A and B are shown apart, each in its own frame.
Chain A
């Protein structure tokens, strides 16, 4: 029966792996992929002698489900879509942030977004990075003047040349703006008109693409335009193909923001706050802005001191005031509307 004993032993060893205890100096963060860049994380780990465990996630729904099913104390830090902070607050999973972790006086005022980050007056999160979901294109293949008007972007002229970024929220926001509906005013009644616009977009598109397929499509000439793209999509391609660029059309574009907060129930709240302070500090902000996964504008203006002129050029630092004036925030639907929007999106894709 030695075999059996061995089998049981191996089984136990395998099970032991699954319940491995955590060391005292670890911080568990549920994040977007830009936080996994060692250039961003390692300085913090070195300064505080701590190991930061990072887990990426895709959608807020999945993150909330994961957090609700975890034991209190499993997670310390959460990076979340700016518009979804209130959902996390409603679910009671975020802890209030102390005033000193919020250097918001140094921020671009348009992205402080107190209404999002402090839904009931208490700050639960802080904006860390922003950018635009707009139009990325190949300047050699399209008439740049056309890119200034959303309705010509997905007109017959560019049929078969468009790829749509595979995230319903910003693309539906763009569709709404093209229809003259402000993203903040989207209701169930707007969906018919948005659906029609999406349908037109879809019928002229060759693909609905995630980040890598959208980049592949642009880089290889598969598509000349990516609806919903932006600096986060083309920044990494620009070095080799400067003709790949982006613009904000006259109707505007959608601003994405991401926020960071500390989880209620964290067993290391002080360390977690330190992490938030690091991320919102000028150095942390500069590293986050130029993270290997995707680039985006830092919320903190002081990051400028830690960025090279070339980096600021790619981020289009000097255009931000103008861009922010034109852009609108992500749509912020309630849960029912959100599900309706997702259904409409999936419905349109499979037409």
Chain B
């Protein structure tokens, strides 16, 4: 009897969170999935099992092109962010003197807390033809006339990388700092080169941190509307931008829902690819 009372109480504690997640996450998701199978006749919504929206996705070039663009941008951003964040976290963890470490980390991620809408806008002004970057390059005589940086995929990627480098620096640093120093010393003592130590000792041990951070980057990046909308110049559209067009201009909820399901599919693929190393409950 005592076990079942224990179980009952456990349920009592866990249930509110589960119910909340069920009611405001699982149910909406199911409604959205059902919506993706509905269709619009004129402006009247017809529920049912229609594949129209998914067929449209294959037939209309701008729709599947958006999927390709989103994937390209997200993969580039994830790779570049990891490549920049890892050495940064490394230097902060192992080169910066202990007493300055927390300060250095805090400084490295402080701009993380600038308003997210404003941050993209700030990049737009920095990258514009009269912006700081062009001015500096001009005065250093590295370029003869201002180059186009804003309103390009480069600008979108820069805006994203800026944000995610900070996020990844944090997750990778947390991982590196937990590494017992003896491991590295032991490897070195046994005659391993610095590279070998990194390749065979440090990297495998920090992989979960990297993959977890990279996965979060993937999820947040591929679903983001603001950054490409402000910085990308609209000459190529990402999936979230196309979703917002369907919502804002046409009120085509079924197609928007189908696109969201596709987005969800991409995230699931990324999850499966990373699942081996993911430690989502250890962030």
Q: Do chains A and B touch in the complex (CB under 8 A)?
A: yes
Nearest-CB distance from A64 to chain B (Å)? 7
Which of A207-215, A249-257, A264-272, A306-314 contacts its partner? Answer: A207-215
Asked if B128 is at the interface of the complex by the 8 Å CB criterion, the answer is yes
Whether A220 and B129, one on each chain, are in contact in the complex, defined by CB atoms closer than 8 angstroms, is: yes
Q: How many residues of B contact A (CB 8 A)?
A: 39
Q: Given the known A-B contacts A65-B251, A213-B230, A346-B242, are A221 and B130 also in contact in the complex, defined by CB atoms under 8 Å?
A: yes
Interface set, chain B 220-255, CB cutoff 8 A to A = 229-230, 233-237, 242, 245, 247-253
Contact A213 B62 (CB under 8 A): no
Q: Which of A7, A212, A349 contacts B16 (CB 8 A)?
A: A7
Contact A222 B236 (CB under 8 A): no
With A65-B253, A213-B124 as known contacts, state yes or no: A206 contacts B66, CB within 8 Å: no
Cα-based distance from A7 to B249 in the complex (angstroms): 39
Question: Once the chains are docked, how many angstroms separate the CA of A343 from the CA of B233?
Answer: 19
In the complex the two chains form, is B249's CB within 8 Å of A222's CB? no
Chain A residues in 8 Å Cβ range of B251: 59, 61-62, 64-66
B148 within 8 A of A: yes
Chain A residues touching B, range: 35 or more
Q: Per a CB cutoff under 8 Å, which of B124, B235, B245 touches A216?
A: B124
Distance in angstroms from B201 CB to nearest chain A CB is 44
Distance of A207 Cα from B127 Cα, bound (Å): 14
B61 at the interface (CB under 8 A from A): yes
Contact status B249-A349, CB under 8 Å = no
B42 within 8 A of A: yes
Partner of B129, one of A57, A91, A221, A335: A221
On chain A, the residues within 8 Å of B252 by CB distance are: 61
Q: For residue A55, give the distance in angstroms from its CB to the closest CB of chain B.
A: 13
Decide if B128 touches A4 in the complex (CB within 8 Å): no
**With A205-B235, A217-B151, A346-B242 in contact, do A222 and B250 touch (Cβ < 8 Å)?**
no
A231 sits at the interface (CB 8 A): no
Minimum CB–CB distance from B135 to chain A (whole Å) comes to 11
Asked whether A58 lies within 8 Å of B248 as measured between CB atoms, the reply is yes
Residue of B nearest to A87 (CB): B43
| Contact present for B248 and A343 (CB under 8 Å) | no
B146 on interface, CB distance cutoff 8 Å = yes
Complex CA gap A4/B9 in Å reads 11
Do residues A206 and B233 form an inter-chain contact, with CB atoms below 8 A? yes
Residue of B20, B150, B235, B242 touching A208 (CB-CB under 8 A): B235
Set B125, B146, B250: member contacting A59, Cβ < 8 A: B250
A349 close to B234 (CB less than 8 A) = yes
Output the nearest chain A residue to B229 by Cβ-Cβ distance.
Answer: A210
Residue of B129, B148, B249, B250 with most partner-chain A CB within 10 A: B249
Q: How far is the CA of A221 from the CA of B148 in the complex (A)?
A: 10
A342 at the interface (CB under 8 A from B): yes
Within 8 Å CB of B180, what residues of A?
none
Question: Are B60 and A61 neighbours in the complex by a CB distance under 8 Å?
Answer: no
Q: Is A339 positioned at the interface, with any CB of B under 8 Å from its CB?
A: yes
- Flag whether A24 is at the interface (Cβ < 8 A): no
| A104 CB–B CB distance under 8 Å | no
CB contacts (< 8 Å) of B249 on chain A: these are 58-59, 61-62, 342
Given contacts A62-B247, A206-B151, contact A220 B128 (CB under 8 A): yes
B130-A335 in contact (CB<8A): no
A314 to B70, CA, bound (A): 42
A1 interfacial contact with B, CB 8 Å: yes
Residue B12 at the chain A interface, CB threshold 8 Å: yes
22 inter-chain pairs at a CB distance below 8 angstroms, sorted by A residue, are A1-B12, A3-B13, A4-B16, A8-B16, A59-B248, A59-B249, A62-B251, A64-B251, A65-B43, A160-B148, A202-B235, A209-B233, A216-B128, A220-B131, A221-B129, A222-B128, A339-B250, A342-B249, A346-B242, A346-B245, A347-B61, A349-B235
The interface of chain B, by Cβ under 8 A from chain A, is 12-13, 16, 20, 42-43, 60-62, 65-66, 69, 121, 124-125, 128-131, 146, 148, 150-151, 229-230, 233-237, 242, 245, 247-253
Q: Chain A interface (Cβ within 8 Å of chain B)?
A: 1, 3-4, 7-8, 11, 57-59, 61-62, 64-66, 68, 91, 160, 163, 166, 202, 205-210, 212-213, 216-217, 220-222, 335, 339, 342-343, 346-347, 349-350
